[in-house]
């Protein structure tokens, strides 16, 4: 709900190749996705929706109540996501690469893989409203998910730059992304950035 993916899209409009790790995760867990057999093996048929995709709602509830289930799911998905992200980055040729990574602060290996980290930040109340509007979740559900994530202070502390996206129009967010891109233009010749 911070506007991270919107910022990544704006980098794409400036010519960067965006590698969206959340989209990769969705692809891996769609019907017939590469992670489905292992998810079924570890979590049972109840973790698979009638269409053959991972039942994201059921698995989300499971991992938020059982830390060992979360570790098992991450052990399945993270290596697959990492391999596909690196494949997509290699396919970008000479274009700068922007990795769109949710939960960046809890995935420490990304910091060593990239030249710069941009955090798109907003107040928690704004984040809650945006996620509720986007997903249809209740406020309690959104706050439960946020409570499981790294704090805003932790995310901001690992950043090379922060865009504070609270109350910004799309044009203002675009201007902020352009400023960051311009400041990093020397590094943008062939670099990898994570947002």
**Residue 129's pLDDT band (cuts 50, 70, 90):** very high
pLDDT: is 113 or 162 the higher one? 162
- What is the per-residue pLDDT across 49-98, written as a single tens digit (0 to 9) for each? 999 999 998 998 888 888 899 899 999 999 999 899 999 999 998 888 89
Q: What is the mean pLDDT of residues 41-46?
A: 94
Handedness of CA 178, 179, 180, 185 (dihedral sign): positive
Among 17-21, 157-161, 190-194, name the most confident range.
Answer: 17-21
pTM: 0.81
| Cross-sheet strand order for the sheet of 17-20 | 17-20, 97-100, 192-194, 116-121, 161-164
Given a cut of 80, whether residue 152 has pLDDT beyond it is yes
Of the chain, the end-to-end C-alpha distance in Å amounts to 13
**Residue 194's pLDDT band (cuts 50, 70, 90):** low
Measured at the CA of 183, the angle between CA 182 and CA 185, to 5 degrees, comes to: 60
Q: Which of 190, 19, 23, 12 is nearest to 99 (CA)?
A: 19
pLDDT at residue number 185: 64
């Amino acid at each position: 709900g911070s506007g991270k993916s919107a910022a990544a899209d704006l980098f794409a409009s400036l010519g960067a190749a965006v590698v969206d790790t959340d989209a990769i995760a969705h692809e891996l867990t769609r019907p017939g996705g590469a992670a489905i057999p292992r998810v079924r093996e570890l979590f049972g048929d109840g973790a698979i929706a009638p269409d053959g995709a991972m039942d994201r709602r059921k698995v989300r509830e499971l991992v938020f109540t059982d830390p060992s289930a979360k570790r098992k799911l991450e052990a399945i998905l993270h290596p697959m996501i990492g391999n596909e992200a690196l494949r997509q980055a290699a396919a970008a040729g000479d274009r700068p690469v922007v990795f769109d990574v949710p939960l960046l602060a809890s995935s420490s290996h990304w910091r060593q893989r990239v030249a710069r980290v941009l955090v798109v930040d907003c107040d928690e109340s704004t984040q809650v409203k945006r996620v509720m509007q986007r997903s249809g979740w209740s406020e309690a559900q959104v706050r439960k998910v946020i409570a499981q994530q790294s704090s805003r202070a932790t995310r901001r502390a690992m950043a090379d730059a922060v865009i504070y996206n609270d109350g910004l129009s799309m044009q203002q967010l675009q201007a902020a992304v352009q400023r960051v891109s311009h400041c990093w233009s020397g590094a943008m010749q062939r670099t990898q950035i994570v947002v």
